[in-house]
Amino acid sequence: MLLIAASAQAETDEPFAPLELPLTEISSPTGTPSTSYWQQQLSYKIDARVNTDKASLTATAVLNYRNQSPDTLKTLWFELPQQRFAQGSLAREKYQAGASEAGGTTRLRVTDSARQPLKTGWQDTLVAVTLDTPLKPGQQVQLHFAWDLKLVSRSHPLVPRSGYEQINGENRLLAFAQWYPRALRYGPQGWNLRPFVKNAEFSLEMADFSVTIDASPQYLLLGSGDWQSAGQNLPESVFKQYQQVSADTPATLLGPGQPWPVNNQQPWRFKGEQLRDFTFVVARDVIWQARKVTHSQGDILITAAYPDNGRWLWHKYALEAGVFAIDQLSEWLGQPAAKSIHLVNIAGLGMEYPGLKLVGFRGPDADITGPAPQYSRTQKYDVIGGILHEIAHAWMPMTVNTDERAEGFFDEGITSYLAFWLEQRWSENFQSFYGEPARVGAVMTATDYLPPVTFAEEVNSKLDSHYHVPAVALNILRETLLGRAQFDTIVADFFHIWRGRNAGFSDFVRFVNQQSGEQLDWFWRGWFMHRGYVDIELERAQVILPQDWNRDQKLAYLQHYPSAPSLTRIRNGDLGQTYEQRNPGLLDRHSLMDDQTYARLGAKTKAVEQPQLRVTLRNKGSIPMPAPLQLHYADGTVQSYLLSVDLWRQNPEQVEIMLSLAPDKAMSLLHLDPLLQIGDARRVNHRITQPEF
């Protein structure tokens, strides 16, 4: 068996052993926040001035930080992930990107409330600020920051999650993300001090924001949170339209080739309560559409902004996909934290932020008023699927906060499943890249596959291990293990209970186990914690006859089963009657049955009322799974079974089960996993057409 424990703690090979999950003081054993739950309280006031030509900004921030933890803090940690573009960063070294464009934060100054400088210490993308007076539990400190930041191109080899896109030599779209000193999350396990290199994303606190930004005239600015200054920033005619955006029809606020009026007033002001982050985009010469989704707790505004080139697929699908996703998911999971969500297309940048989703897929360049251009199936479903995915992130990690750095598979796995759920409701023929059990075997049997719990900087294929496999696992949890109604209720309750708080994967596991009442530790271990795959073999199927049947009853039953063909017997049919048939006096009971039927008369018997099928299943993979079976009869009737995973508890490698057979017809096929629902990697051993006797 191929089992490799991925977590640091000593994990067992025993598939049904109870899982050892970390339980901290903020979580209860039932997967809900504990009565002593705490999280840090933060509020930022940030003022920034953007230089669009230089793709840079200069900013100051005031942070009020209240220590709600039971610990005294001498140091506060912040992350400035764009430092990976700075010379000498770990990312440059690891990915040999030494000669690439430099960017990141420069001239960071930190002072206390009396404006006295505080000591800072860099650790790659992290910076420690040493407080003059240790911050005791319940105390608040005010920090002042000033800094400059330079963006890199969106096509930088280190794969940025922010950056600028040039069109015709101009910086047309600039995504300012990870642009201010973001407080690293302090939790019951301390600080997560692993720097951001490339793949392990962000460990952040929820915070209140008040942000003011000065940008160049002619640029539209879209940001996280509630936009306070639309009336000043937008030209009157556009503002009027903006105010009238409804759920009924999409409104085009800025059209193609529509010159952006130069008299828009600065600054742009935004406010947000309990947002996981604050991000903004400045853009010019974009098409900008908007529509609302009505929700019982307040309408949600969706807008889509995309540049004039390559806009055909965005024009046709972006706003529709956004409206559809918000409508469907808020129905299921409750309202997202953001009241407005902007979709922005910057080529190559795909990343979720509160109220702002960057989606990099664009499709071919073509005029929106012209005929449909040539585009591939993948181009189409990348655009729509990319939007559905980033919108689904509005629930995790934006509404329920998670530690993306430590548990990249948690938010990506849930989000990838939600996206799959949306995709398959959008179209029955949607090209879904993640979430379908039929296709997961190839990924999980690959020699370099690592399980979802693997740290994102160490996983070989993040899309396989953090997106596809967890999404498939959740699909199986819903369709095969819990059923749709129970799964949907449990997931909705989880989002409701953890709304605005920090949840970990362990909380989710405990919550599902407790709410469902099912023993699912084997499932979490097999699909999330260990390297392995599903491979169940239908090894043997044998007919057992009732002990008290006499010879004639047996013979009558066996005659339903065809004997194995014989080429000699078939060809001898051309010769006409055999000698025995021409001389009926020679016939006896042995002449009237073939060797096989004679042998079958000696079939195994048992004290049962009707014939049974003894089925041997072998678990050749490492993950025990329920066994969906279909029993087909020669007359076309079918009986379906779903054997519980408990099957494997006695012997996780091989089991025998008994199925009752109809007494008056032959089985023609026993089919394991006919609907490809358990993610089995090998399907050549899933069918038996001739039982043994």
| Chain residues in the site for Zn ion (CB under 5 A) | 412, 415
Residue 507's Cβ-count burial label (10 Å; 0-12, 13-18, 19+) is: buried
Minimum distance of Zn ion from residue 216's CB (angstroms): 31
Please report where in the chains the tokens 């937008």 appear, as a residue.
234
- Residue pair 400/499 in contact by the 8 Å Cβ criterion: yes
- Residue pair 153/163 in contact by the 8 Å Cβ criterion: yes
- Residue pair 314/368 in contact by the 8 Å Cβ criterion: no
DSSP secondary structure of 123-166:
ETTEEEEEEEEEE-TT-EEEEEEEEEEE--BTT-TT--SSEEEE
Minimum distance of Zn ion from residue 350's CB (angstroms): 8
Q: What is the DSSP letter of 470?
A: H
SS3 assignment, position 64:
strand
Nearer to Zn ion, 286 or 394 (CB): 394
Nearer to Zn ion, 415 or 480 (CB): 415
Minimum distance of Zn ion from residue 386's CB (angstroms): 9
SS3 assignment, position 562:
coil
- Residue pair 334/253 in contact by the 8 Å Cβ criterion: no
Minimum distance of Zn ion from residue 392's CB (angstroms): 8
Minimum distance of Zn ion from residue 408's CB (angstroms): 9
Strands 186-187 and 654-660: unpaired
Please report where in the chains the tokens 């002990």 appear, as a residue.
547
Minimum distance of Zn ion from residue 320's CB (angstroms): 21
- Residues 4 and 24: their CA atoms lie apart, in Å, by 26
- Residue pair 563/594 in contact by the 8 Å Cβ criterion: yes
**C-alpha distance across the termini of the chain, in Å:** 31
Residue type, 166: Q
Q: How many other CB atoms are found less than 10 A from the CB of residue 310? A: 18
Residue 565's Cβ-count burial label (10 Å; 0-12, 13-18, 19+) is: exposed
Minimum distance of Zn ion from residue 291's CB (angstroms): 23
Nearer to Zn ion, 254 or 281 (CB): 281
Nearer to Zn ion, 328 or 415 (CB): 415
Q: What is the 3-state secondary structure (H, E, C) of 299-310?
A: CEEEEEEEECCC
Nearer to Zn ion, 392 or 450 (CB): 392
- Residues 611 and 660: their CA atoms lie apart, in Å, by 6
Minimum distance of Zn ion from residue 282's CB (angstroms): 24
Nearer to Zn ion, 11 or 277 (CB): 277
Nearer to Zn ion, 125 or 415 (CB): 415
Nearer to Zn ion, 415 or 454 (CB): 415
Backbone angles phi, psi at 528, to 5 degrees: -115, -35
Backbone angles phi, psi at 53, to 5 degrees: -65, -40
DSSP secondary structure of 455-467:
-TTT-S-HIIIII
Nearer to Zn ion, 287 or 358 (CB): 358
Minimum distance of Zn ion from residue 299's CB (angstroms): 25
Nearer to Zn ion, 242 or 381 (CB): 381
Minimum distance of Zn ion from residue 469's CB (angstroms): 14
Minimum distance of Zn ion from residue 235's CB (angstroms): 35
Nearer to Zn ion, 272 or 413 (CB): 413
Minimum distance of Zn ion from residue 390's CB (angstroms): 7
Using CA atoms, how far residue 384 sits from 138, 154, 313, 424, 516, in Å, is 46, 21, 9, 12, 33
Nearer to Zn ion, 345 or 415 (CB): 415
